[in-house]
């Protein structure tokens, strides 16, 4: 593959990422059927490029609450040389990504592919995190903290010393 990077655990602090995931992909992650989250971008350094092994992904429905979390066990960025290389990535990871053909259709615009192997997948009940923009991937300043629906638009607050 061309100009790809693979992350490994390092001494840097664990980061928390709010990730918007549509159905059926979210359901497949929570059920353990989808083990790799794949992101495509037209940018050379998209927001998801900040994710590394050991980080937590907080999985959120579009316009809904966070309903799952997963730790990244491996992160890989691929800069494909063209549509043929995108197709090779799609074929290689098809069983783990579980994306339908429409996900890979017309990918001549892709400059970066992010592949995130997931472990320690957890289903959560309604965890609201403030997010007012359309970005599907946001690096959070800290782990989200449960709070009441009345406070649902409050800034995420760090958890104590416990999970995660």
pLDDT at 157: 37
Euclidean distance between CA atoms 108 and 64, whole angstroms: 31
Q: Dihedral of CA 90/91/95/100: which sign? A: positive
pLDDT at 37: 97
Q: Which helix (H) or strand (E) is 87 found in, with range?
A: helix 83-97
Q: Which helix (H) or strand (E) is 107 found in, with range?
A: none
5-140 belongs to CATH 3.10.20.600: no
Taking alpha carbons only, the member of 82, 77, 71 closest to residue 29 is: 71
Whole-model pTM? 0.81
Beta-sheet pairing, 56-60 with 16-20: parallel
Residue whose entry in the numeric block shows the structure tokens 């990918």: 107
pLDDT at 2: 41
pLDDT at 9: 52
pLDDT at 56: 97
pLDDT at 120: 96
Q: Strand locations in the chain, DSSP E?
A: 5-7, 16-20, 36-41, 56-60, 66-78, 112-127, 137-140
Ordered mean pLDDT values, 10 residues apiece, the chain (164 residues): 48 91 95 96 92 96 92 96 92 94 89 97 86 87 70 40 39
pLDDT at 1: 40
Taking alpha carbons only, the member of 81, 79, 59 closest to residue 3 is: 79
Euclidean distance between CA atoms 14 and 51, whole angstroms: 9
* Bond from prior residue into 125 cis (ω within 30 degrees of 0): no
> Cβ(15)–Cβ(55) under 8 Å?
yes
Euclidean distance between CA atoms 146 and 70, whole angstroms: 17
């Amino acid at each position: 593959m061309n100009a790809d990077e693979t992350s490994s655990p390092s001494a840097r602090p664990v980061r928390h990422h709010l990730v918007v995931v549509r159905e059926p992909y979210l359901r497949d992650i929570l059920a353990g059927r989808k083990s790799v989250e794949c992101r495509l971008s037209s940018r050379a350094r998209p927001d998801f490029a900040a994710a590394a092994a050991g980080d937590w992904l907080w999985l959120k429905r579009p316009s809904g609450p966070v309903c799952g979390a997963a730790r990244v066990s491996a992160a890989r960025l691929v800069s494909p040389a063209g549509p043929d290389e995108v197709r090779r990535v799609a074929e290689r990871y098809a069983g783990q990504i579980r994306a339908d053909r429409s996900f890979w259709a017309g990918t001549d615009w892709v400059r970066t592919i992010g592949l995130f192997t997931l472990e320690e997948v957890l289903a959560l009940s309604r965890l609201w995190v403030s997010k007012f923009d359309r970005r599907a991937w946001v690096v959070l300043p800290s782990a989200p903290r449960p709070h009441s629906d009345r406070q649902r638009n409050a800034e995420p607050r760090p958890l104590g010393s416990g999970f995660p």
